[in-house]
Structure 1
């Protein structure tokens, strides 16, 4: 955001060997030891305000494509977990975080942050994690970054400032875990279980309860089958 405040025109990547204050979704911290990939992309006015919501889908598809290009053998085991985590053999491999703000000139700035567990991974009680190295896919972070940056540029072109969101959503669904299956959406103090039907036009997860009630979920922790960590509560 400091680069945007200084007048940078965007489309610039910043990478780090480690981070002292890495951030994850919902205010959580992100383990940031040397050996993993930590990269952020600054975008200036990437789309009209009502279409920026498509960027998480763009980014997760780009990272999935990049890793499948690097490791074709991982294709069938690499899935996107809504909204934008990547799972390798059912364990969390990467996380993405987007932050948006408006700079002093009135420009909408978006920072797309990405962390990939190349070597290290946290002992996460909420969801099992892994790394590329642990799964037999060792490669330096710089190699992962170069493929990711190229794939991101390609996907941004397809997205076309939001006009290509239908193609992005279709691509995302083809790479996602749990579509058509039972999932549980966990919020701060309750859960909802049902079938993961699809994504709506805003990228929200459509969950359909057994009663037929439909929910369009913008933010939650998603668990598959009966893997959620505490008792289900209907609302």
Structure 2
């Protein structure tokens, strides 16, 4: 499979390293290249990742034909806003899938903080990692994994893949579209100065807004209505008392919350040192 950047991404100075197989993870590879002095705006991509990493340190081998793509960037924003890059990635991926598989758009949603759902099944996850390098250089790696050909078996939640949903797309064509939509929305984000516009774009595509949600903190469970996200991407929940509560951490379950079973989306992206990740 041959990967390539969209012409506008190449013209903007983005670079691509594509591999048949990555024995570890594309995130690890991209971060190691950043530590070694690689310039930002470098994509590391494969259709077969053997050592993928996700939330809570979980690892897996992705089926051949799925997309694993990691991008090294060097944002110039306040550290506290770095995690909002995850919302840029979510909107960009949603738009890339819409371009490649327009018939899926009615069932295509982003889920807080940065999953992509197809008809309620998880089709993509993301992992953000940040590190401050020598001389104060702060880099971020955004890892994006997409179920293109197949979804994992035995997951404790609903899953989906693009091809199983009827999309005529492969990892290479999806990546080319993503490299273009990323360029558009990363420019809109504008080092967090445009986060309000990214927030609007994300909410327009969001799963569960206005519906029930449960958040678990240790032994405590908070129930309410998913009202919105704030300017920093934190979840805003309206409690039964009428109070609005901002959620920055916890396990989150959308939908019928009569019983909470921990089938959670990860908490809000928290990006600090390497491996302080926005976990998906």
Alignment-derived partner of residue 88 in structure 1: 118
Distance 1:15 1:123 in 2: 23
Aligned counterparts of 1:220 and 1:214: Cα–Cα separation in 2 = 16
Alignment of 1:197-212 (within 5 A): 197-212=227-242
Point out where structure 1 has 5 or more consecutive residues left out of the alignment: none
Residue 53 of structure 2 is matched in structure 1 by 23
Deviates more, 1:175-184 or 1:221-230: 221-230
Measure, in 2, the Cα distance between the counterparts of 1:126 and 1:209.
Answer: 27
1:229 deviates by 4.8
- Give the gaps of 5 or more residues in structure 2: 1-30, 263-280
Which residue, 157, 173, 179 being the options, matches 2:187?
157
TM-score, normalised by the number of residues in structure 1:
0.92
Contact map agreement 1:31 1:121 (CA 8 A) in 2: no
Q: How far did residue 154 of structure 1 move?
A: 0.7
- Runs (4+) of structure 1 exceeding 6 A deviation are none
- 1:186 match: 216
**What corresponds to 1:230 in structure 2?**
261
* Alpha-carbon distance, 1:16 to partner: 1.8
Residue 66 of structure 2 contacts residue 147 of structure 2 at CA under 8 Å; is this kept in 1? yes
> Alignment partner of 1:135: what SS?
coil
Of 157, 170, 175, which residue of structure 2 is paired with 1:145? 175
> Mean Cα displacement is larger for which, 104-113 or 183-192?
183-192
How high is the TM-score relative to the length of structure 2? 0.78
1:196 aligns with 2:226: yes
Q: CA RMSD in A?
A: 1.8
Structure 2 distance, partners of 1:108, 1:45, is 8
Task: Tell me what 1:102 maps to.
Answer: 132
Please give the per-residue CA displacement for 1:53-77, whole angstroms capped at 9, x wherever unaligned. 2101111000001111111111110
Out of 88, 101, 107, which is 1:58 matched to? 88
Partners of 2:46 and 2:63 in 1: CA distance = 10
Q: Secondary structure at the match of 2:127?
A: strand
